[in-house]
Homo-oligomer: A and B are copies of this chain.
Amino acid sequence: MLAFSDGLFAIAMTLLIVSVTVPHIADDSSIHDLADALNDLSPAFVSFFISFAVIGRYWLAHHQFISLLDAMDQAFIGLNLLYLAFIAFLPFPTALLGEYFSNPLSIVIYAVAVGIVSGMEVVLFRHAYRKDLLRRKPTPEVYRFGVIASLSPLFFFAISIPVAFVSTTLAVAIWFLTAPFGVLLERRAPEGVESLFG
């Protein structure tokens, strides 16, 4: 399961660039025209790097989490496939964002898609905790911390949705706050997280 999930993540991350197509310009050798055409693609490049970072972060969390499992029941396997379906889906909202960076709707769709992945992460963690699938059962404090850490991106993506209708650039800027917040959160981690996630 780990090898399969890792492969799927690697493919989804590499496919992100496929939707960025080479622009067509009339005069092949014009530096100016090509520079202009590539400049128009800059939202697509920004979307590529944002999504690579987003999926990369999910991969890290998922990889560490799956490595901690002792066993999987049928329900967990099903939930994990549902989680992976949303990961495999992410290249679409990424391409949409790259094409319609200034359209609030593409921000909303991206935020919702990422939110669902974060939500599914919690569902997986909760199931593994309740059904005792983890090698070492985390303490309730560690469990609560894990849930909060998984849900924290959801908070930033949720507030970006109304902001998108004012300014899409500001909405995307809010997404970048998840990284420093994650670092802050880690400093406040209860004892026992290290031995579980370290």
Contacts and interface: CB of A to CB of B under 8 A. Distances in A.
Contacts of A38: 105, 109
B29 A103 contact: yes
Tell me what chain A mostly uses at the interface: helix, strand, loop, or mixed: helix
15 contacts: A3-B3, A7-B10, A16-B88, A17-B89, A18-B91, A19-B22, A20-B92, A22-B98, A22-B99, A22-B100, A29-B102, A34-B105, A34-B106, A48-B89, A56-B85
Interface residues on A, range: 35 or more
B7 A53 contact: no
Contact of A7 (B7, B77, B103): B7
A141 interface: no
Given A85-B53, A89-B17, A4 B10 contact: yes
Nearest to A3: B6
Count this chain's copies in the assembly: 4
A156 interface: no
A11 interface: yes
A107 to B, nearest CB: 10
A14 B11 contact: yes
Given A3-B3, A34-B105, 11 more contacts: A4-B9, A6-B7, A7-B11, A13-B84, A17-B89, A19-B21, A22-B95, A34-B100, A52-B81, A52-B88, A53-B85
A85 B49 contact: yes
Given A3-B6, A9-B4, A85-B53, A28 B109 contact: no
Contacts of A19: 21-22
Contacts of A12: 14
Contact of A103 (B3, B9, B30, B89): B30
